[in-house]
Amino acid sequence: MINTRKQTLDIITYAALILGSLVMVGPFLWMISTSFKLPADQFTRALIPNPITTQNFEQLWTILPFGTLIWNSFKVAMLTTIGQLLTCAMGAFVFAVVSFRFRDVLFFALLGTLMIPYQVTIIPNFIIFKALGLYGTQVPLWLPAFMGGAFGTFLLRQYFLTIPLDLAEAARVDGASLLRIFWSIYLPLAKPALAALAIFSFLGSWNNLLTPLIYLPSDLQQTTLPVGLSLLQQQYSGRWTIMMAGSLVSIAPIIIVFFFAQKFFIEGIALSGVRK
């Protein structure tokens, strides 16, 4: 009786998950299909284009400097990811391993900054970067990442807490410094959590539209891909084939990154919330 009820519940659960996945995948498949259609066929219901064409992708490079936009987005996203991994890992190591006065108070104060909306800090940050003469450059897009982050620090700290302190204490007995323990012991063991944070940071920077609009509003040689897609939407609001081609190009790097790092990503998220 119990097994029958469990099997019925499993069937209902899997059916709901399959239905939800179809709902989520549907728009994605429509985007791929439309990007390979002719403009005259953009409103047809056929999922497989007939004929299949790549002219929409070819037009992207003539309408806007998509190669430059992609490179700018990739450069900013990589610098942002490196900055987040480096600074958040160091902060997380200190909060998880090093004992000092008011450590927990400072950590909870750091978590409190998560409640501050990003929009609140836009004007102060703009004033600072403007005074430093960095307006109109890419520096404001990636420099804040090298100043740490509450979410990344929390994520890595929770993972560091799962690593036995005996490893750090044994290394200290052997004469290793805190920097050596951090670099040689904790970082190699935290690859899953680092991969998860890297994906979050890369994805957030890659899709960031507001910050490039503020600091690089019209410079197509310096701005990023989301700004280019926004301009594309304004100029070709009725050309869904071109817009879907641009959207497909914009999400392709994210899909590739997640495909190669999904194992570490899932493991990092699963283990970061468990303290042994």
Residue (of 157, 247, 149) closest to 204 by Cα position? 149
For residues 69 and 269, give the distance between their C-alpha atoms in angstroms, rounded to a whole number. Answer: 31
Q: What is the pLDDT of residues 153-187, one digit of tens each?
A: 999 998 898 888 888 888 888 888 888 999 888 99
| 3-state percent breakdown (helix, strand, coil) of the chain, nearest 5 | 75, 0, 25
Please tell me what DSSP assigns to residue 40. Answer: G
SS (HEC) of 158-192: HHHCCCCHHHHHHHHHCCCCHHHHHHHHHHHHCHH
Quote the pLDDT of residue 268: 55
CB of 111 closer than 8 Å to CB of 154: yes
Alpha helical stretches, state H, 64-189 = 66-97, 103-112, 122-131, 139-142, 150-160, 165-173, 178-181, 187-189
Predicted TM-score of the model (pTM): 0.83
What is the C-alpha separation between 276 and 271, in angstroms, rounded? Answer: 10
Which residues in the chain come in under a pLDDT of 50? Answer: 273-276
In degrees rounded to 5, what are phi and psi of residue 179?
Answer: -65, -40
Cα–Cα distance measured from residue 109 to residue 214, given in angstroms and rounded to the nearest whole number = 29
Domains and CATH numbers, the chain: 54-272 (1.10.3720.10)
